[in-house]
Chain A
Amino acid sequence: DAGVIQSPRHEVTEMGQEVTLRCKPISGHDYLFWYRQTMMRGLELLIYFNNNVPIDDSGMPEDRFSAKMPNASFSTLKIQPSEPRDSAVYFCASSLGQGNLGGQYFGPGTRLTVT
């Protein structure tokens, strides 16, 4: 398996623009997670899905952020409009089964810079 795939790897955009981050989880995994990592705040869980259904979006910063999972092999995280404080590395991760007993598998991340 290729592992979790994220695109793009780097994104530079101007304030106010829409940004869409993409993720393909490991085939067969039933959980998908979106994280944001910054030096100041560390690694934060934004939202997670189980069988394509959003379970917990309490970490989504505000209405400018939205996430979808239209099928088991694809998810998007959208920021509209983007702001400089959204600059961070965004990770997607997937796992199998309740309790994360097999651990989570992380993608390489998307480094977002909003100017």
Chain B
Amino acid sequence: SQQGEEDPQALSIQEGENATMNCSYKTSINNLQWYRQNSGRGLVHLILIRSNEREKHSGRLRVTLDTSKKSSSLLITASRAADTASYFCATVGYGNNRLAFGKGNQVVVIP
């Protein structure tokens, strides 16, 4: 089954810097999504990119998708302390509603 795999696993940056996370997957997808999880909380949907899209923006978030390399990246610009969280990518295949999650990136933004 397809599964996102984020890289790097942990990232520590200063407030105001940009944070970039990568995700790779193995099989064809319908769409790819990024979620954020704050400590002790449920996951929150951030952004979705469809398989026929290459780039998408939402506020300070920018996601790219390269289906030829089966990879995606999430960029958070001008990071804030409140962005400290774990970030997960998840893929959805065709004909099903399963989200296959990666192991997550821990991002720490230092004020």
- Interface residues of A, Cβ cutoff 8 Å to B: 4, 31, 33, 42-43, 45, 48, 50, 55-56, 91, 93, 95, 98-109
Count, chain B residues at interface, CB 8 A: 21
Contacting pair A107 B42 (CB below 8 A): yes
Contacting pair B92 A100 (CB below 8 A): yes
A50 vs B97: C-alpha distance when bound (angstroms): 9
Contacting pair A56 B98 (CB below 8 A): yes
Given pairs A45-B99, A50-B97, 8 additional interface contacts (CB within 8 A): A42-B102, A91-B42, A95-B97, A99-B30, A104-B43, A105-B45, A106-B43, A106-B44
Write out the residue numbers on chain A whose beta carbons fall within 8 Å of the beta carbon of B42.
4, 91, 93, 106-109
Contacting pair A99 B92 (CB below 8 A): yes
A86 vs B44: C-alpha distance when bound (angstroms): 24
Contacting pair B98 A48 (CB below 8 A): yes
Nearest 3 A/B pairs, CB to CB: A103-B45, A106-B42, A43-B101
A7 vs B103: C-alpha distance when bound (angstroms): 25
Contacting pair A99 B43 (CB below 8 A): no
Q: List 8 A-B contacts (CB under 8 A).
A: A43-B104, A95-B97, A100-B48, A101-B48, A103-B45, A104-B43, A106-B42, A109-B41
Q: Could you tell me the distance in whole angstroms from the C-beta of B82 to the nearest C-beta in chain A?
A: 18
Interface flag for B87 (CB, 8 Å): no
Q: Which residues of chain B in 22-59 are interfacial with respect to chain A, using CB atoms and an 8 Å cutoff?
A: 30-31, 33, 35, 41-45, 48
